[in-house]
Amino acid sequence: MSGPEKISATGKVGLTDTSLSDIAKLATKNFGAGHLADYIPALRDVDPHQFGLAVIGCDGETHSCGNADTRFSIQSISKLFSLTLALRLVGVDFWKRVMRNPSMNRFNSISDLETNAGIPSNPFVNAGAIVVSDAIVSRSSAPNRFVLDFMRTLSGKGDIYSNDKVASDEAELGHRNFALAYLLKDYGNIDNKVDDVLSLYFSNCAIEMSCTELASAALFLANDGVDPKSGTQIITSDETRELNALLTTSGMYNGSGEFAFRIGLPAKSGVGGGILAVVPQQMSICVWSPELDIYGNLVVGQFVLEYLVQNLGISIF
């Protein structure tokens, strides 16, 4: 297998068509190593043997392979974008409501929240993202549309949607998220009605985007908070550094330590099988393959990222 070219000093992505097809082969070889998310029919019924990769440089250089343009359920990858919006809306005061520490418990742990007296460990565990949703609901008259519009603007794709069936299945079967939201409410860390807050949370999880669209939407995180496509400052450079730190310590939940050890990039996973990773000052990478490991992070995607990091020398460590 011929590897990618090393990343060049000018920050060029350094991938060739040959290396991309080698990566696709590596992905296919690892099909079957994980399991599908099975808590809602829409995720359980996905064809598990799919794989997509998109790598986009801050200068727009784009490489992709496999099902890079197939839309999938972004699930918890949305937490990164809703946090960005909450920081824009609330600023530094947002951090009175959520901590910035990794959690060794599962992403939907009730005991984690109870132990911390209603202050979620970080904004990427479900409880933290529910507080993020509450902050947005307090400041928008049409919050679901508000987040969707943000995703459309960042990706440049006006037809991005939230899958209503996925959102309603999440609402019907997401008992644990209701439990977390009511516990947060009991601790006074939710201002709005639980149903309204979770409606936004579930709608965000149900957004469908492709690897190419997600990698494009995240470019501001690789570029000091400025979307290089439009020149718009999305968040400040300090907030971008902080967000990348949080992605590194908590973006892969209680698998974040293992992910830092193997790959070493700020990244956010979702149970739909996507991982969105940031290479500060250089590029964003999105990989999708639906089979998950025990932490709820994707198996094939981690092999692919490991390969990319080793061959391009792009780990932040």
Residues that bind ligand GLN (CB under 6 A): 75-76, 107-108, 126, 170, 174, 177, 205, 270-271, 296
98 as an active site residue: the answer is no
Residue 285: what are its φ and ψ, rounded to 5°?
-130, 130
144 versus 311: smaller Cβ distance to ligand GLN: 144
Could you give the 3-state DSSP secondary structure of residue 178?
helix
Nearer to ligand GLN, 89 or 179 (CB): 179
Tell me, yes or no, if 111 is annotated catalytic: no
Q: Which is nearer to ligand GLN, 19 or 250 (CB)?
A: 250
Q: Which long-range contacts (CB under 8 A, 24 or more apart) does 171-177 make?
A: 171/198, 171/199, 171/202, 173/39, 173/40, 174/39, 174/198, 174/202, 176/108, 176/110, 176/126, 177/108, 177/126, 177/130, 177/201, 177/202
**Angle ∠(67,71,73) on CA atoms, nearest 5:** 120
DSSP string, 46-70: S-SS--EEEEEETT--EEEEESTT-
- Smallest gap from residue 74 Cβ to ligand GLN (A): 8
How far is 97 from 49, CA to CA, in rounded Å? 40
Q: Is 268 helix (H, G, I), strand (E, B) or coil?
A: strand
Per DSSP, 6 falls in state: P
Characterize 129-147 residue by residue with b for buried, 16 or more Cβ atoms within 10 angstroms of its Cβ, and e for exposed.
bbbbbbbbbbeeeebbebb
Residue whose beta carbon is closest to ligand GLN: 76
CB of 292: closest distance to ligand GLN in angstroms?
A: 9
**Comparison of 271 and 308: residue with beta carbon closer to ligand GLN:** 271
Q: Which of 73, 76, 256, 284 is catalytic?
A: 76
CB of 227 to ligand GLN, least distance (A): 24
Q: Which is nearer to ligand GLN, 271 or 304 (CB)?
A: 271
Q: Cβ of residue 256: shortest distance to ligand GLN, in angstroms?
A: 13
Establish whether 76 is a catalytic residue. Answer: yes
Kindly state the helix (H) or strand (E) to which residue 128 belongs, with its residue range.
helix 126-139
Active site annotation includes 161: no
CB of 126 to ligand GLN, least distance (A): 5
Q: Which of 73, 98, 253, 269 is catalytic?
A: 253
Residues facing 284 on adjacent strands:
56, 278
Minimum separation from the CB atom of position 200 to ligand GLN (A): 12
Of 72 and 307, which CB lies nearer to ligand GLN in the complex structure?
A: 72
Question: What are the DSSP calls for 78-109, one per residue?
Answer: HHHHHHHHHHHHHGGGGGGSS-----SS-TT-
The burial class, CB within 10 Å (0-12 / 13-18 / 19+), for 294 is: exposed
Tell me whether residue 187 is one of the annotated catalytic residues. Answer: no
* Catalytic residue (choose from 201, 226, 250, 256): 201
Q: Residue 74 corresponds to which tokens in the numbers above?
A: 């972004």
The pair of three-digit structure tokens given for residue 42, joined into one six-digit string = 């829409």
Q: What is the set of active-site residues?
A: 76, 79, 201, 253, 271
